[in-house]
Structure 1
């Protein structure tokens, strides 16, 4: 099967990408590619690396040309010395093999969850944004990464396990305070496309306020849900139209009635375990949220416990824990955004963001 972004190119553009892939794979100092305008060449190089996250050592390029020549002289920039690249190639191949081996016989959905959970349990967001954190060697080799490196690591593992996967990318939006592009993945599970953002789930799961393990707020979302807090894509990608296999729906943790919330919250208070659930009983307005908070408070009060609530408002996902004693409940708004988890309204009961999703 042709790589996804490659398949969307013209024959001429494909020829350029093929030449770049061959030259970079051979660790050539320079090689010829068909003459292409500089901006387009940069875009093709970018798309090539989305299709081939295993090319982690090629960080950029220069080029030069002669006026009458039909070709450019392409000079790739490598992140390491060539001898070091070969060592890293062997190490990454062995690492991918080791990670993939336990999941080879799992179902597609189980493989997807295995990859997602590996990222959430073993990778921390690199706020310093080192160069290798943008490539698979960051998450897979150093245990750190930014969204680009994490999305590439997810694709590399999906490729190894036979799951169709691409890297999706959206633009920045300075008006919203979004300074950087964001990348995540689109996977095909059971013949259907879904959004999978392991970076956002990773950042939510690392939130220090509440314990509770891995988050799945961005596991198999449709377009309608993901673009509540993701900017529009800047590169073509398949539409994701199925919202019925969102993780919390699959796990019967998507509630439509207050009675369901009360019942499951009571169980969480009794067992002393956190509860993470999705609300789909209509829009999550301030009034609905206040009713949900009151319901969870009452469930805890029956056992003399106090609710600690963390809210992912765009995705209508709530994480609930209880602490012993009748103290003041707290509601914290979680924002999954490039590792910068903002804590607003902490400890201010009844104070919330926005009016609706």
Structure 2
């Protein structure tokens, strides 16, 4: 019996904010806040490694402007779908394509291929030429649907973009330049997100509708009011959904932990006005996001400052996050095939984890043991790590999966201990899945793959597991239980003897079959063994006794 991991109780501290004054240097960037937003949205993530940390006064090259244009309209995935040969082929007809930065080449190729941008002549792109405001604004307007023959686009593109995005004349004047700097470009891109399309919708609304930007992300950065009565942000006409305050706080905490941030400022709203509310949201984020590593606690201050604690050094956490992402994506490419059912996806992921991970029974185990990283990258973990790895892979494979925290019976001590497992949804029905208990440690120290806890209803797993049933979906179906689904059931003497002898004659060296609803089998097992050996003309050399779920395993010579 494995000893389940006990979860750490986190102390949430609510501090009274004491304001203080300090001399702060004035930023050289007019649009620093807007740059942080565009960086978070992935529009200028190629310009800076952190929001506006590098030369906002640097001149804007044409290639950087085109890359930002492509990202502004949500075309990153389509760019990444281009092969290297396609990129090289598209750019080969331009004599100066060798001047394009390597990271910009696929974006420039995509823009040229789709007509989002054109060369400066039939044979040149001028990637290192400086960008002016009218050219940049005209490129944006054309991709918003304003025709190239429109007088506004032809004669006064920057002024027209300012009008449809709500910029005042002073802002338009400041941004109207023969040579843009990156700070200016940020101002123009930010204005474009708020600009009206020809059909009167805003560009941000269009990007949300197409799935390029989530409504919650838009609300988080003030484009959609999460609380219309608050009077802040920009309400986009015609877009009905308004994320709740809790959703906004949830996304902020989730994004911060995924990026391994040490602290963030939360907006003051109905989901952040008490530490208890923030603590509850944080717990939901951890349960829903197995990619988050080593976050052991937080401190919330009344001014909205939320500080996170990690059990390992920040740089190590970031490294492990990157390695976990790489490993998860590689495994999904290896395990998941087109046309697989959700049951098949669940089974192959369950079996991989059980076969490639060992339970860590040591009391002084490392923080990695409680994480998906421990399972997928180190091959050693405890129940929390098993459950998080299952959820991470099933989530990405498109199978609904929940992390369950509760207790499980330790058969050696007769007491219940903290434990974690999963609930999965297969074809509209919910089931319990406990990969940890399907990975028993044998007497010789070896590991063994079993499926006793693969897709159980509440009634069955409730024999040795306890959880808050009001907090999770009800599980009543047995349709996708491993033994039911694979027809591995032979209840009673006659059915068991017939099934086991047939499998032995077919050449199976071992079988696992459910012969009773529970440990009370109701017939003489030794008599059944003798008849099986006689019918199959093979010897039963060993067997695993019937467990509490009525499953027996036989081994033949």
Q: Is TM > 0.5 for Structure 1 vs Structure 2?
A: yes
**Structure 1 residues 124 and 297: alpha-carbon distance in aligned structure 2, compared to 1, 3 A threshold:** farther
DSSP-derived class of the 1:214 partner: coil
Out of 315, 336, 348, the residue aligned to residue 83 of structure 1 is 315
CA 1:220–1:273 in structure 2 vs 1: closer, same or farther (change >3 Å)?
same
From 452, 458, 465, the equivalent of 1:223 is: 458
Matches within 5 A, 1:316-335: 316-322=550-556
Deviates more, 1:143-152 or 1:218-227: 218-227
Q: 1 CA distance for matches of 2:545 and 2:249?
A: 47
Q: Equivalent residues in 2 for 1:20-59 (5 A)? A: 20-33=253-266, 34-37=272-275, 41-59=278-296
Distance, in Å, in 2 between the alignment partners of 1:261 and 1:166 is 35
Larger Rg: 2
- Structure 2 vs 1, CA of residues 273 and 95 (structure 1 numbering), >3 Å: closer, same or farther? same
Write the distance in 2 (CA, Å) between the matches of 1:43 and 1:291.
53
Structure 1 residues 234, 15: closer, same or farther in 2, change over 3 A?
Answer: farther
In 1, Cα distance between equivalents of 2:542 and 2:513: 14
Partner of 1:298: 531
C-alpha deviation, 1:142, in angstroms: 0.3
The Cα of 1:76 is off from its aligned counterpart by: 0.9
1:117 pairs, out of 351, 362, 376, with 351
Encode CA deviations 1:284-304: one digit per residue, 9 max, x unaligned: 42x61x523431243236647
**Residue aligned with 2:402, SS:** strand
* Corresponding residue for residue 279 of structure 1: 515
Q: Partner of 1:199: helix, strand, or coil? A: coil
Q: Conserved in 2, the CA contact under 8 Å of 1:168 and 1:235?
A: no
Shift, 1:275, TM fit: 1.1
Which residue number in structure 2 is paired with residue 177 of structure 1? 414
Identify, as 1 or 2, the structure richer in strand: 1
Aligned equivalent of 1:164: 400
- What residue in structure 2 maps to residue 151 of structure 1? 387
Aligned equivalent of 2:431 = 194
| Structure 1: runs of 5+ lacking an equivalent | 3-9, 324-357
Give the secondary-structure state (helix, strand or coil) at the position aligned to 1:318.
Answer: strand
Q: Distance in 2 between matches of 1:312 and 1:211?
A: 20
Cα separation, 2, equivalents of 1:74 and 1:173: 37
Q: CA deviation at 1:11?
A: 5.2
Q: Of 250, 253, 266, which residue of structure 1 is paired with 2:485?
A: 250
Matched, 1:98 2:335: no
Partner SS, residue 256 of structure 1: coil
Matched position secondary structure for 2:326: helix
Count, aligned residues: 305
Cα separation, 1, equivalents of 2:489 and 2:476: 18
1:47-84 deviation digits (Å, cap 9, x = unpaired): 221100011132323x253xxx4x45322112333332
- Check 1:192–1:131 CA distance in 2 against 1; reply closer, same or farther (3 A cut): same
Relative to structure 1, the CA distance from residue 152 to residue 293 in structure 2 (aligned partners, 3 Å threshold; closer, same or farther) is: farther
Cα RMSD, aligned residues only = 3.1
In the other structure, the counterpart of 2:467 is 232
Task: Tell me the CA shift for residue 15 of structure 1.
Answer: 4.8
Return the alpha-carbon distance in structure 1 between the equivalents of residues 469 and 432 of structure 2. 15
TM-score (norm 1): 0.75
User: CA deviation digits over 1:257-310, x for unaligned, max 9?
Assistant: 312211232245553611100124x6542x61x523431243236647345232
Asked whether the 8 Å contact 1:308–1:322 carries over to 2, the reply is yes
Q: Measure the CA separation in 2 of the matches of 1:174 and 1:277.
A: 24
TM-score between both structures, scaled by the size of structure 2: 0.50
Q: Which runs of 5+ in 2 are unaligned?
A: 1-213, 216-242, 267-271
Residue matched to 1:73: 305
Partner of 2:164: none
Does residue 1:134 correspond to 2:370, yes or no?
Answer: yes
Question: Whole-Å Cα distance in 2 between the matches of residues 126 and 236 of structure 1?
Answer: 29
Distance 1:126-1:86 versus aligned 2 partners, 3 A rule: same
